[in-house]
A and B are shown apart, each in its own frame.
Chain A
Amino acid sequence: MSLRLDTGGRFIDRATPVRFTFNGQPHEGFAGDTLASALMGAGRLMVGRSFKYHRPRGVVASGVEEPNALFALGAGGRHEPNQRATTTDLAAGMQIRSQNHWPGLGFDIGALNARLARFLPAGFYYKTFLSPPAFWKHVYEPLIRQSAGLGRAPQAADPDGYEHFHIHVDVLIAGGGVAGIQAALLAGEAGARVLMMEQTAHWGGRAPVDSVTVAGQPAQDWLRAALARLDAMKNVTLRTRCGVVGVYDHGYVLADEQPPPPGPRHRLWKIRARQVIAATGALERPLAFPGNDVPGVLLASAVRDYVVNWAVAPGRRTVIVTNNDDAYRTAIALVEAGLEVPAILDARGQANGPLPERARALGLRVETGKGIGKVRGKTRVTGAGLCNQRGSGLVTEVIPCDAVAMSGGWSPVVHLWSHCGGKLIWDETQAHFRPDPALGPVSHDGVAFVHCAGAAAGALQAGPCQTTAGQAAGAVLKLLGCKAGAPDHATAEAEAPLAPVWVMPQRAGPALRAKMWLDFQNDVKVSDVQLAAREGYESVEHTKRYTTLGMATDQGKLSNINGLAVLAESLGAGIPQVGTTTFRPPYTPVPLGAIAGQARGKTFQPLRRTPMQDWHEAEGARFEPVGQWRRPYAYPKGESLAQAVRREVRNTRENVGLLDASTLGKLLVKGPDAGRFLDLLYTNMMSSLKVGRCRYGLMCNENGFLMEDGVVARLGEDSFLCHTTSGGAEHIHQHMEEWLQTEWWDMRVYVANLTEQYAQIAVVGPKARQLLERLGGMDVSPERVPFMGWAEGVLATIPARVFRISFSGELSFEVAVPAKRGMAFWQACLEAGADLGIAPYGTEALHVMRAEKGFIMIGDETDGTVTPQDLGLDWAVSKKKDDFIGKRGQARLHLSGPDRWRLVGLETTDGSVLPEGAYALAPGRNANGQRNVQGRVTSTYHSPTLGRGIAMGLVRRGPERMGEVLEFSSLDGPPVPARIVSPVFYDPDGEKQNV
């Protein structure tokens, strides 16, 4: 039975009890507790079930490496699965739920899997669900999905805030243990801009628990003074609850902060650090003995943490099992806390260092050459079976106990070192991988920018730990051109070398190896890794994926080294030869909310607004996305959307319509070489355009494919205004700048994107001129503003530029006014045109009207593989010019051949509307058994003007086949017959627009 001790606990405030529930049961902890310590204090040690076999599981660790104690926290939008009990602070009223069981933690149907364990070895899914193929989709996958997964995703939107924060520093120090703080002191005193981050809520790391002495003082006293010094330095920033999770190229570092309420739920720090010191410590490794996953078996260091920091213990009688001296500290701490340690089982042949001697002096039973051959108990430990480490697991004595503290040695946390390419070396003496100082990750200057300090560098003892901190700070400061001072000395009791133990006992047979857990979270056992090796998985990366060793939320923090050691042993290879899996960021899971930051809700993405956007919204317009613009699609007035479109088309063709065309790109191109430049950019000749006139132009890419179209107006001898499509303004602006900067940099041309300076309003329809005349201020007669001409003046007292251009076939003026006057102009038009039947129209009416006229639309008739010639726009491709972008591309054989799909109009024989994107069917089938095709529909609408369906499409040799009836595919019915006709359905002679 786990318990709360009567005294002690560095982190808890016994004066502040905190109530919470676990699976609905009320419990009480203290302020300062983590969920793990609170539950342990409340006598709850079994906290979850494992992923695959649903075995009962308890807390194993005390930090981020915890694989078992993962909870679902919060309700509704705040529900969060897979929260580690060991790193989550207890808060009043918390409702904690365990995961991976149904219906309950105590009785779980999924635990049947454990009975079937011998039938569920590594690779079970791959082997079993191979056939028959149809079963995967309909039987296997739904079944697996039902039982798989760690936790459940929340169903509601997250109400909390998230944000990013950017900072640039000289030195980032990851980890606020003694080594990190020492490095911060040295760097801070040298004047460097320092940011130090600690993932837990507490500074100091393990030193206060492990009775380290620094500069002759207890670690806790030294820490207090050191932090006061750091706090006083203006160039040093300290953050707790802020875990450095990834180190990336060129000194880019990500850290995830959980600020205390009511702050943002997470703050993702985006750091540019010239140098990084990784003082990230080390993680203790479990030992692989039979039954090492029974609740009550914990890491030895975790047991010590719980006793010293939170005054809780997993049991009253704890057996220690170890291969090193460090675990004796746990024995001593337990005894000092008044708890029993019936035995210390040391796998080594002898144990005579100061720590074992101290344990013996306390009267503890130390058994060398021994290990655990069996753990008694199912949902919690009731006894440990002692055996010879070198034997096959014969249990000679069962020691009654309610907890086991295990230690298999320590592995440096090399993740941050490795993220960006730092190499590792195998340290035989300490049996771990540690950073190879000669092969660090390099930054933009080719110089290493990550340096490890303390246990992360492989310096597990207090003295060398401080030395490496001094070395790391020294190396960093030298690169920064600063002078470094010397670190304080630290001491702790000396430790004798460990003996590597990967399997306990060494000669365990198959039955016992199938009970030795390597990866608690994914239920990977020694037997699974050995099976993978037998089946030919030699690469550690493949073995990981085959067995799932080291996957999921803990990413193998506890299991990796043990797993690859077992693999190496099975392969008869050395551990360094087998190597590790790749350490990839993030070190600890980062919520998607933190990554999104402010990009959620109304700031999910920038939505661009025209000067009349408020009016459109007030009028109840339906919008459609055009890039980041939201343009009115139609303005329904108590009618269906289709009815609204028809009304808008008819009204514009009969009276006068108003379109917000502000989104059209407006690029000012100015300079002595502007004409020459535009001649190269457009397929047609622009330099010959007269001042005061407009010309429709096409732009191709170098491939020869049509990319953009728009009307160019010549404003003056050396200046042109190029209109682009709504989505194309930025792209075409960049396109122009690219050619000016990188190819024709001798040309004297400047470009300015004036898209947003103007509101542009199309006044369209037979009564358009009448309306503008009513506004007054300038002459808009055909003589002053002829078709394809423009004029400048004043309309309704607002400065205006009037372009006589038409995308609808009607009499049409596009009026550009300063954006801030846009709404006033729009309003003036509505008022002046009330009795003329004026009404706004949206983009769908615009599309219908342009299709009725056979005008192409970039993105409908083009898809990046269509040339102007395909669209019958040969007239807009100059034959006179020596060069333009796309000319060479269009000269290629397959772009100029006769068999290309070319633009035609299409009319169904029954007047219906052709399906969008339908293919024109051709006789026969292709190699895949699909029908051959000879064209496709590019635009299709109901034409209110003509009262039937109209369409445009690209058809093989289309213009040569006028009158032919083709069949078009339909998703939900027989093919639809349609006749090839001219694409100009309405007013082919252009009489309406030229009045």
Chain B
Amino acid sequence: MSEPGFVSVSELGAGMIALRGDLRSKVFRKAAEAGTGLKLPAPCTIVWDGARALGWMAPDELLLVVPEGEGAVTVAALEHALAGQHALVADVSDARAMFHISGPGAREALAKLTPADLSPAAFPVGTLRRTRLGQVAGALWAEERGLTVLCFRSVAVYMRDLLADASHPDAALRVF
């Protein structure tokens, strides 16, 4: 989907896995790194390697993003890696909607929706924040090529409408 906005908004498909465990535990970290194939992110950040990304969602929760369709197999691999540990692995690929917002003014478009500080200084590439977007909960992170927004699937249409409105060319704004 592409809107005729001052930034471009597209809806992405992806596999997503919620992973909960004790992020302070060495045993868990080792198993999680083995299962995800990524270094665990520091609080409020996201790390990438190729098509995979691993985001810090809470002190005991990570979100693994994999290519679309790989959710189920990744869950199995993670469960194998974490066998015997107190952890929760859940495929949430179908429970989330993902949007990508890029172009000059992308941060401003999103700053219409969230009370978070989206200036490049406060929200550099690699940071992830869970916050309020309009009237719904969401997560967003900054990449070199723009910003990614995650929300629940049931409100994807609401989010698409909000983003289309916020990125309308007549409402362009450059501040950051």
Contacts and interface: CB of A to CB of B under 8 A. Distances in A.
Interface stretch (A101-109, A389-397, A563-571, A599-607): A599-607
A603 B158 contact: yes
Contact of B18 (A610, A752, A755): A752
A598 B112 contact: yes
A164 interface: yes
Given A165-B173, A168-B119, A272-B117, A598 B166 contact: yes
A961 interface: no
A611 B121 CA distance: 39
B10 interface: no
A610 B153 CA distance: 8
Interface string B146-175: 000000111111100110011010110101
A340 interface: no
A89 B86 CA distance: 66
A602 B94 contact: no
A497 interface: no
Contacts of B115: 166, 270, 272
A754 B95 contact: yes
Interface in A586-607: 597-599, 602-603, 605-607
A748 B88 CA distance: 11
A263 B171 contact: yes
Interface string A127-166: 0000000000000000000000000000000000101111
A167 B175 contact: yes
Contacts of A818: 91, 93-94
Contacts of A671: 86, 88
A737 B110 CA distance: 29
B112 A603 contact: no
B116 interface: yes
Contact of B134 (A267, A603, A750, A799): A603
B23 interface: no
A801 to B, nearest CB: 13
A756 B91 CA distance: 11
Contacts of A597: 112
A754 B114 CA distance: 25
Nearest to A754: B90
A915 interface: no
A603 B165 contact: yes
Given A272-B117, A606-B135, A161 B165 contact: yes
B112 A166 contact: yes
Interface residues of A, number: 45
B13 to A, nearest CB: 9
A750 B20 CA distance: 7
A799 B157 CA distance: 26
Given A603-B162, A606-B136, A755-B95, A668 B90 contact: yes
A168 B122 contact: yes
Nearest to A673: B86
A607 B158 contact: yes
B143 interface: no
A167 B111 contact: yes
Given A668-B88, A819-B153, A164 B95 contact: no
Contact of A163 (B91, B94, B118, B166): B166
A153 B87 CA distance: 58
A267 B21 CA distance: 43
B3 interface: no
Contacts of B135: 599, 605-606
Nearest to A600: B165
Nearest to B94: A819
Given A165-B112, A606-B155, A818-B93, 4 more contacts: A163-B166, A166-B114, A609-B155, A756-B96
Interface of B: 18, 20-21, 60, 72, 86-88, 90-96, 108, 111-119, 121-122, 134-136, 152-158, 161-162, 165-166, 168, 170-171, 173, 175
8 contacts: A165-B111, A165-B112, A166-B118, A167-B111, A167-B119, A267-B173, A598-B165, A757-B95
Which 6 pairs show the lowest CB-CB distances between chains A and B?
A819-B94, A608-B154, A168-B117, A756-B95, A750-B88, A757-B95
